[in-house]
Structure formats: C-alpha cells, structure tokens
Amino acid sequence: MVEPFKNYNKDFKKVICKNIKKFRKEKGIRLMDLAEMLEVSPEYLKRIESPNDDKKTCSLTLVYKLSLIFDKKIDDFLKDD
C-alpha cells in the first residue's frame, strides 16, 4: 500500500513564508515595492512573510504571481533548505 502522506511536512506554510522572504531579498525587492506589485498592503505581505503568524495565509494565485516576479517554480516555494 502506498503511503501518500509519508513525506508530508506539517510546517509547509512556514516553509512557504520563509521562501517568500528569502526570494524577495535575493531579488533585492523591498517589501513595500513587492506589495505594490502584488496590489496588496505592505502589512498583509509582512504578515505572510512572518512564519509565526499562523492565521495569515496566502492564496495560490498570490504564490503564482510571486513565482513570476521571482522567476521561480511554484514547487521552489515548498523546498525546505
């Protein structure tokens, strides 16, 4: 029998948050500028980047837009280094 969730990382949201911030810094984009590109408030983006804010999540649409801005694949956001 296949174990579909064998490699499930229960902290995947924190990994995504960490990678959003990491990719933004690698591109040298200020949080305020990225928020403007995404048409969201800087406060919203700051909460998304915060791994300790369990209540704030981002949509797949937002991750897709970020992948285009950062020139990354969507699965790159799920990689835990």
Tell me the CATH number at 40.
1.10.260.40
Per-residue pLDDT of the chain (81 residues; tens, 9 = 90+): 678 888 888 888 889 999 999 999 999 999 999 999 999 999 999 999 987 877 778 899 999 999 999 999 999 999 987
The predicted pLDDT at position 77 comes to: 95
Closest CA to 72 of 30, 33, 29: 29
The domain total for the chain is 1
Does residue 42 fall inside a structural domain? yes
Does residue 6 fall inside a structural domain? no
Does residue 2 fall inside a structural domain? no
Model pTM? 0.86
The predicted pLDDT at position 6 comes to: 82
